[in-house]
Structure 1
Amino acid sequence: MILYNITVIIDEGIEAEWLQWVNETFVPEALSSNLLVSNRTLKVLDSPNEGFTYCLQFIADNLQNYNQFKDNHASALLDSLTAKFKNQSVHFSTIMEFIN
Structure 2
Amino acid sequence: MILYNISIIIEDSSHDDLFLWMKSHLKTLSIETSLLKMLDSPHEGTTYCIQIRASDHSTLEEYQAAILPALSEYIASTHHEKAFLFDSKMEYLSLD
Structure 1: state its 5+ residue gaps: none
Q: 1:63 to 1:24 in 2, by over 3 A?
A: same
Q: Which 4+ residue blocks in structure 1 deviate beyond 6 angstroms? A: none
Partner of 1:58: 52
Over the matched positions of the two proteins, sequence identity in percent amounts to: 28
Q: 1:83 to 1:59 in 2, by over 3 A?
A: farther
> Which letter maps to 1:28?
K
Over aligned residue pairs, what C-alpha RMSD do you find? Answer: 2.0
The alpha-carbon deviation at position 96 of structure 1 amounts to 1.1
The alpha-carbon deviation at position 74 of structure 1 amounts to 5.1
Cα distance between partner residues in 2 of 1:56 and 1:75: 10
TM-score (norm 2): 0.78
Aligned pairs, how many?
Answer: 93
Partner of residue 69 from structure 2, selected from 62, 68, 76: 76
Cα distance between partner residues in 1 of 2:22 and 2:62: 22
Structure 2: state its 5+ residue gaps: none
Cα distance between partner residues in 1 of 2:68 and 2:49: 17
TM-score (norm 1): 0.76
Partner of 1:44: 38
Partner of 2:22: 22
